[in-house]
Amino acid sequence: MGHNHGHDHTHGANKKTLMISFIIITGYMIIEAIGGFLTNSLALLSDAGHMLSDSISLGVALLAFTLGEKVANHSKTYGYKRFEILAAVLNGVTLVFIAIYIFYEAIQRFQNPPDIASSGMLIIATIGLLVNILVAWIMMRGGDVEENLNMRGAYLHVISDMLGSIGAIVAALLIMFFGWGWADPLASVIVAALVLRSGYYVTKSGLHVLMEGAPQNVDVDDVIHTIKNKTGIVSVHDLHVWSITSGLNALSCHAVVDAQMTIAESEQLLLEIEHDLEHKNIHHMTIQLETVAHLHDNSILCNAKAVTSGHHHHHDH
């Protein structure tokens, strides 16, 4: 079974898992939001806000998988695989705004706690918790929650959502038994902090990819070492490692080889390098082979400067 075939299989499973999870979460989020208004509970509303962010991230991940399948063309040579990263950044920013709104509401409520229908709140929060457990279980079973950034993001959302529901349950119990009205805004603040945290991390990792940062699951030094250690390679320069999207890492570099090497030998060398790097999470590589005569740069990482004028410009020597 080839590498790509394996990728397609988890891809299909991810998509189906996301679809089921999306329908369940979105449905319950609407119920919880209505419940929050009716019972007058900010904890429920903030949990619904958290679920909204889940449902957005699930919907976005679904859309990303669908768009990601669109074939590459001349204007977008990588296809639409970057879309899911843009979507992740957008989702992260949305979460930050939701969190800020909840904080603001909670401050108002600490000053004058409103009346809350605590038994209704308890029932809705409990069902919410069960729904989250169900969805997390579906995701664990059917999807790739370790590697794929979107699946992982959606999964972590659902897990932290459980904490939101637990918070609302505890708050409802405190109001029922002790009449502590402030438990409700307190629970909502805790949930808002979780929402803020996940928003920050999602935005940060998305921006890292957009800035062409080296992928987290690739050890660049190890990659350089692997290429340099191949028999026939003199040195490596102009190296770039980046992610096109989560789970698809690319590499490009110039490798200086012995001038006597035949084309057939260099092909064999490239095959070996490709095989080795495949195990180091590099899925797509372009290596330019050069002889020592062509050696024009002694730094491993590329130090090309952007050309601002229209003049043709080569590397710094």
Encoding tokens for residue 134? 């169900």
* 6 has pLDDT over 50: no
**What's the pLDDT tens digit per position in 119-142?**
999 999 999 999 999 988 988 887
Count CB-CB contacts under 10 A for residue 140: 12
Which of these, 127, 83, 105, lies nearest to 195 by C-alpha position?
Answer: 105
d(CA 69, CA 77): 13
Which of these, 17, 64, 21, lies nearest to 158 by C-alpha position?
Answer: 21
Please report where in the chains the tokens 């909204």 appear, as a residue.
Answer: 52
What's this model's pTM, rounded to 2 decimal places? 0.68
**Could you name the CATH architecture of 3-210?**
Up-down Bundle (1.20)
What confidence score (pLDDT) does residue 133 get?
92
Report residue 4's pLDDT band, with 50, 70 and 90 as the boundaries. Answer: very low
* 290 has pLDDT over 60: yes
CATH 3.30.70.1350 fits 220-294, yes or no: yes
107: alpha, beta or left? (left if phi > 0; alpha if psi -120 to 50): alpha
Burial grade of 95 (CB within 10 A; 0-12, 13-18, 19 or more):
buried
Which of these, 213, 226, 210, lies nearest to 280 by C-alpha position?
Answer: 226
Q: Average pLDDT for residues 264-285, to the nearest whole number?
A: 89
**What's the pLDDT tens digit per position in 180-235?**
889 999 999 988 888 888 788 888 888 888 888 888 888 889 998 988 888 888 88
- Residues with Cβ < 8 Å from 79, sequence gap 6 or more? 68, 70, 71, 72, 73
Q: Measuring CA to CA, how many Å separate 189 from each of 17, 31, 115, 127, 291?
A: 31, 21, 18, 21, 62
Q: Average pLDDT for residues 22-26, to the nearest whole number?
A: 91
What confidence score (pLDDT) does residue 296 get?
65
What confidence score (pLDDT) does residue 30 get?
92
Q: Are 95 and 202 in contact (CB under 8 A)?
A: yes
What confidence score (pLDDT) does residue 129 get?
93
Q: Is the dihedral of CA 30, 33, 37, 40 positive or negative?
A: positive
Report residue 310's pLDDT band, with 50, 70 and 90 as the boundaries. Answer: low
Range list of H helices, the chain: 3-39, 42-68, 83-111, 118-142, 149-178, 183-210, 220-228, 263-278
Report domain extents, the chain.
Answer: 3-210, 220-294
Choose between 160 and 108: higher pLDDT.
Answer: 108
What confidence score (pLDDT) does residue 186 get?
92
Task: List the single range of 14-23, 47-56, 114-123, 175-184 with lowest mean pLDDT.
Answer: 47-56
* 1 has pLDDT over 90: no
